[in-house]
Amino acid sequence: MNDCIFCKIIKGEIPKKFDFESEKLVTFPDINPSADIHLLIVPKEHISGIDEIGDRGQLLVEIYKVVKRQVKDNNLRDNSYRVVVNGGKAQHVPHLHFHFLG
Ligand code: 5GP
Ligand code: ZN
């Protein structure tokens, strides 16, 4: 997917500092944050949306490990946080991503 903005970020074609990188995913701040902490958790593989995740169970496990670490590192357990995945017309970037909002 040549013209996918998140693929370009992941390939380094658009410079971006990752907060975290593993074999399967990267995390970086949302360019237009809608919370004090607004992180995007993005699989390196181009998956168009949550409905195309198939049987990639290990990817979901890794994503929720990132969530757990964010909650811990930011002391959010007694605070509010949300994990959001948009789909259909509510999804603007057609490369699967989880919003972590704290
Ligand atoms: P969606 O509506 O697809 O769930 O959310 C896409 C999100 O990606 C939006 O919150 C938007 O601010 C963010 N975004 C779009 N383009 C870029 C970009 O080039 N860099 C970063 N860091 N975030 C982006
Ligand atoms: Zn992509």
Could you read off the pLDDT tens digit of each residue along the chain, which spans 102 residues?
A: 579 999 999 999 998 899 999 999 999 999 999 999 999 999 999 999 999 999 999 999 999 999 999 999 999 989 999 999 999 999 999 999 999 999
Of 79, 85, 88, 90, nearest in space to 100 by CA: 85
pLDDT value at position 2? Answer: 72
Edge to edge, the sheet with strand 98-101 lists 20-21, 25-29, 38-43, 98-101, 82-84
Annotation says 97 is catalytic: yes
Query: The tokens of 7 are what?
Result: 């693929």
pLDDT value at position 49? Answer: 98
Pocket test for ligand 1, best of 16, 18, 30, 101 (most atoms within 8 A of CB): 30
**Ligand 1 pocket, 86 CB below 6 A?**
yes
Backbone phi, then psi, for 67, in 5-degree steps? -60, -50
pLDDT value at position 42? Answer: 98
Which ligand has the minimum distance to the alpha carbon of residue 93? 1
